[in-house]
Amino acid sequence: MKIINVVGARPNFMKIAPIHNLMLRTEGIEPVLVHTGQHYDEKMSKVFFEDLKMPMPDIYLNVGSGSHAVQTAKIMVEFEKVVLEQKPDLVLVVGDVNSTVACTLVAVKLGVKCVHVESGLRSFDRRMPEEINRLMTDVVCDYLFVSEESGLENLENEGIPHSKIFHVGNVMIDSLINHIKTADKSKIMKQLGVEKGKYCLVTLHRPSNVDDPKNAKILVDTLKTVSKKMKVVFPIHPRTLKNFGTMNLLEGFSDNENIKLTDPLGYLDFMKLMKESMFLLTDSGGIQEETTYLGKPCLTLRENTERPSTVTQGTNILIKELNKKKIMMHIDDIISGRLKKGKVPKYWDGKTAERIVNMLKKVK
């Protein structure tokens, strides 16, 4: 059985790695790794592939950046050539990026069965491009692999047949479990001069947070206040860096020894920092899941989340209103030891890739 596994952006790497690596060891399955190049930084991509012990992609499409329409169209044009040449039995996509929906549409229109890993997640906010990608992908895919119970409910409410839906768990947690011991060997904390449990780790990239001058200023002011209490480690997204620079918001960072601005980090270095931090301040999706597994406090700066189990069961707190006073109230609770207690959702056990591959072996 020939299966094309698609990656397009860095979050995809952590989801594909356990699946692709297991397929390579599974008799009767021939996996082909296709990188669309939706997000591509040669240095960072190389680091991620090395960290995750993945072979380099068999096929690289080199589509680059562009508007959603341009990027999606370029991926479809190039991926169609791959499908026609490779003649796969299945195409497997993960997550919710433009590569996900583009490759799905190509596959199903060519009559190739398509698998969506991390299916059924919903923010119920159609202003998010990712939400549109999720909805469209789930409607046309043949097999839907769900990471948490909310996904089962959402797909049922949308009228998706039960025969297409499989609750397999969270494959990102497979990657975390597979590499956590290696991450412990990282020297990143020494390089940054931070100590275990004495710093906050920050990631910000959502347009609502970093493109809006008012919101960006609130966040920068908040980080400056946090830095008076502890060190702040901030691997800064290229667009965030550009926007903050344009808005003249970086001036208060350069002379602040407690704010550690870094380039984007590799998977193992970031995991080490996440594991040893006091808490995380983020607008990412996947980090909400990883912190829940690690039992690490996470403050998510978004109006909504497509991963509600991280809030209802895990350690995630959703900060719906971007208000410095409210953010600091939660941070002071964490510093004082008033932590939210969480538990790990069902099937977040490091065996999700195994469940997926075993089910795919039965596909006719």
Distances in Å between the alpha carbon of 261 and those of 66, 73, 227?
A: 27, 35, 12
pLDDT digits (tens, 9 = 90+) for 102-135: 999 999 999 999 999 999 999 999 999 999 999 9
The encoded tokens of residue 222 equal 């908040």
pLDDT score at 316: 97
The encoded tokens of residue 120 equal 């059924």
DSSP secondary structure code for residue 234 in this structure: E
Q: Average pLDDT, whole number, for the chain?
A: 94
Q: Is 116 one of the catalytic residues?
A: no
d(CA 231, CA 241): 19
Are residues 282 and 219 in contact, defined by beta-carbon separation less than 8 angstroms? Answer: no
pLDDT score at 364: 67
Catalytic, out of 20, 205, 237, 330: 205
Are residues 134 and 121 in contact, defined by beta-carbon separation less than 8 angstroms? Answer: yes
Q: What is the location of CATH 3.40.50.2000 in the chain?
A: 2-170+348-360, 182-335
Helix (H) / strand (E) containing 241: helix 238-246
DSSP string, 262-319: E----HHHHHHHHHHSSEEEE--SHHHHHHHHHT--EEE-SS--S-THHHHTSSEEE-
Q: Which CATH fold would you assign to the domain 2-170+348-360?
A: Rossmann fold (3.40.50)
d(CA 67, CA 212): 19
pLDDT digits (tens, 9 = 90+) for 138-174: 999 999 999 999 999 999 999 999 999 999 999 999 9
The encoded tokens of residue 166 equal 């499989």
Are residues 276 and 189 in contact, defined by beta-carbon separation less than 8 angstroms? Answer: yes
- Which top CATH class is 182-335? alpha beta
pTM of the model: 0.94
